[in-house]
Amino acid sequence: MLSELLVLLPRFNRLAHLALLGLGLGMSTLVAVAAAQQTIYQQPSPTVRELLDAPALPKHLVSPNKQHLALLELRRFSSLAELARPTLKLAGLRFDEASGLPSQTAATGAIARLRLRPLLNPQAPEQNIDLSALSAGGKSFFHSFSWAPDGQRFLLERRTDKANELWVGNAVSGELRQVNGLRLNNALAQGEIAWLNASELVLLAQVERRAAAPKQPSVPNAPLIRETAGRASPERTHADLLQTPHDERLLEHHALSQLTRVDLRSLQIKRLGAPAMFFSVSSLGEDEALLTERITRPFSYSLTWEDFPQVVEVRRPDGVVLREVARLPLKRGVAINGVLPGPRLFYASPNKDAAVYWVEALDGGNPNNRAAHRDRLMRLDAPYTGEAQELLRLPQRFNSLRFVDDGQHALVSEDDGLRAWTRSYLLALRGGSIRTVFDHSQRERYRHPGSPMMRMSAGGHLLAQTYGGGLLLQGAGASPKGDRPFLDRLSLQDGSVQRLFQSGEAVYAQPLEILGDGRLLSLQESTNQPPSLHVQVLNQPGATSLALTKARPPHPLMRKIRRELISFKRADGVDMSFWMYLPPDYKEGEARATLVWAYPLEFNDAALAGQLSGSTNRYPNFSGLSPLMLVLDGYVVLMDATMPIVGDAKSVNDDFIEQITLSAKAIIDKAEDLGVTDPKRVAIGGHSYGAFMAVNLLAHTDLFKAGIARSGAYNRTLTPFGFQSERRSLWEARDIYLKLSPFLYVNQIKEPLLLIHGDVDDRAGTMPMQSERLYQALSGTGGTARYVLLPLEAHGYTARESVGHVQWEMRQWLRAHLGDPKDMR
């Protein structure tokens, strides 16, 4: 519990000039308030604090053999001490300097509790795996649970002060054993495992007896020079790029990996071949060969590591190279939303043929070029000495390849970016026959066919699952009445579809597995009951289900929150919706202060914009940063309020301001009609692109009393080569970029604005400077604003101290500018 948390921040001296709350207070009062607030982290109301400190609801992980169940509770938050560990930021990567573990895993992936039990026996005692005894007093933590293909063992990784280790667990006894002498290398690829069989795998490890990391030169020995030579190479605005030759040496040092074979029975390891900067390793067929991918020099100071030169190779199981499949160049000179013209996206066949698949562009990689076909799918067969053959030509850009577990088919998907459309084909891998199975808008909800249900094969490959001669498809089952998840079977013979299961109207049930006896395993929840595992007879509507697990609600007040999906139209006829959340103490007829929280989405079809999603039968499980926490402080919250931007993909942003204005007015009018909202006390808020939307609404309308903007981008000239779905560059659509930059209209923002940003935001385009400059502009033009910079936080905030403080900031801001939510004016 952090109920009395006071964290001093003496080393963040730059916070001394951050934004102060403009409430008409005297300067001396402001200075005193600022001094106090800059030295402590505040905490939200006691009720919200209790909810933040409640354990996370467990994740249910079923073993591949469907015999065992792992109940996994993740640590809900990190800590500032964890975030303050030395971190390297290189080529778009962020990882722990000592262990190489990606920062995001350390922030959100730590396991707080692990329990094991037989899947189908709810009366059987649970094995509580005591991870705390192996955590070195909290200095280490376990993460990244995964099952072995046969379900008899499981893997865990443990990050210590100096390394990231591999541990192997027994599914029956729960015994954990460390693989000694092995330090995983996760700098370029976390969890990259090639299963050879149920008890052997190949992974990426640190080089044995690795030398010390290169030291930063005390004195620069040369200027930093960049040069361009007349070739256009538009790049998004990325964070954490390489900047110096020392950065290059550091990346090379930490990215250098050793292919390592691990026997889970004996815990013996064997190093394979020479070290390289590997980022992917996959098994081909049934232990026939390995497919590896690695980056090479030259590096770039304007691209992330994924766009560095790459070498793709087929290797023997002992690591010896059999053939170089492809050598990809540095991805420079590629059009916006374009691809490299040569081979890319490599796949290892899980079938006995052990073939290598990849994709090649037929339009030069440029989406602006006219072409009958944009991509083709290629295959290289074992023993990898011949020429690759073409299997399929795609009219649009390739998206994905999924192998089917019958060993004969694969699902191939393509995307039409201009139409925001997707199409999927069922491809016979050897016969060559092709049949279109899905063809729909990327925004389609009501007629969405679902996605393949995946399973792990005996060889450790994830495959699209078949059952009774058909491909299993699971989907959300969206409809005007809400989501009702389903399980369908798509015939591989004639393409007909049979519905095997659909959730009832009184619960929300997600299909997970079909058991060996034909029964269905599902995850069920309701408004008052958190998700729990159930088993029932398949294809019998209304069949009674047996509960296998039961989770406790984290807080009794959650049951008293009222939630309703509200549908309506805006003035131009476009359908809209929001989720209305009413506080536990709300009484009919109260028009309360309200927060609207939204995120704009683009559509090329107005009918799709109005399709609903979500279910009233879902358990209200709020994330720590969720503005829904404010419901517990008495505010009405209109969550996920739709802000559809409807138009042609090439010019959809031309009337962005006009459309969000129409939407905002419709939202407020509907909430007023319902009698729950005082239209004179409404705030607008959002995170990331939602923050961008919120500030634009404050700049161009007088609809809201105040605003909250977290981690947004407000000056589009700083993202000149596109943003979100905008395909044009600043120089192609100068007026639109300027129109959509609320920074340039800051003198029109008369409402109080709370700006919150992570100090080390890692998202493209949302660097902290975006909020800092907006605050400075507001200050310089007489606006009312508060700028909160969260030390050590990225685009999403993960430390318990930060999350609690953000909730406190939002509550205080609404109370200051909307008043007491219960005050009926």
Confidence of residue 15 (pLDDT cuts 50, 70, 90): very low
Phi, psi of 748 (to 5 degrees): -90, -5
Instruction: Say what the pLDDT of residue 707 is.
Output: 98
Query: How would you classify residue 181: left for phi > 0, otherwise alpha for psi between -120 and 50, otherwise beta?
Result: left
Residue 800 pLDDT exceeds 70: yes
The answer to whether 528 and 559 have CB atoms below 8 angstroms apart is yes
Query: From CA 362, how far away is CA 376, in angstroms rounded?
Result: 7
| Nearest residue to 302 (alpha-carbon basis) of 227, 251, 230 | 227
Contact residues for 600 (Cβ-Cβ < 8 A; gap 6+): 643, 644, 645, 656, 660, 689, 690, 693
Task: Note the pLDDT tens digit of each residue in 189-210.
Answer: 877 899 999 999 999 999 999 9
Query: From CA 731, how far away is CA 336, in angstroms rounded?
Result: 13
For Cα atoms 211, 186, 239, give the angle at the middle one, nearest 5 degrees.
100
The answer to whether 401 and 407 have CB atoms below 8 angstroms apart is no
Phi, psi of 599 (to 5 degrees): -150, 120
The answer to whether 40 and 7 have CB atoms below 8 angstroms apart is yes
Weakest-pLDDT range from 184-193, 405-414, 469-478: 184-193
Residue 347 pLDDT exceeds 50: yes
Confidence of residue 551 (pLDDT cuts 50, 70, 90): confident
**Percent residues over pLDDT 90 in the chain:** 84
CB burial class (10 A; 0-12, 13-18, 19+) of residue 6? Answer: exposed
245's enclosing H/E stretch is helix 245-255
Confidence of residue 237 (pLDDT cuts 50, 70, 90): confident
Query: Pairing between strand 310-315 and 289-295?
Result: antiparallel
420-431 average pLDDT score: 94
Helices 800-818, 46-53: crossing angle, 10 deg rounding: 150
Please tell me the pTM assigned to this model.
Answer: 0.93
What are the residue numbers of the active site? 688, 761, 795
CB burial class (10 A; 0-12, 13-18, 19+) of residue 356? Answer: buried
Residue 825 pLDDT exceeds 70: no
- Show the tokens assigned to 767: 């660097």
Contact residues for 292 (Cβ-Cβ < 8 A; gap 6+): 259, 276, 278, 280, 281, 282, 312, 313, 315
- Show the tokens assigned to 341: 């013209």
Instruction: Say what the pLDDT of residue 169 is.
Output: 97
Q: Which residues pair with 563 in a beta bridge?
A: 581
Tell me the helices (H) and strands (E) count for the chain, helix number first.
11, 45
Query: Pairing between strand 636-646 and 592-603?
Result: parallel
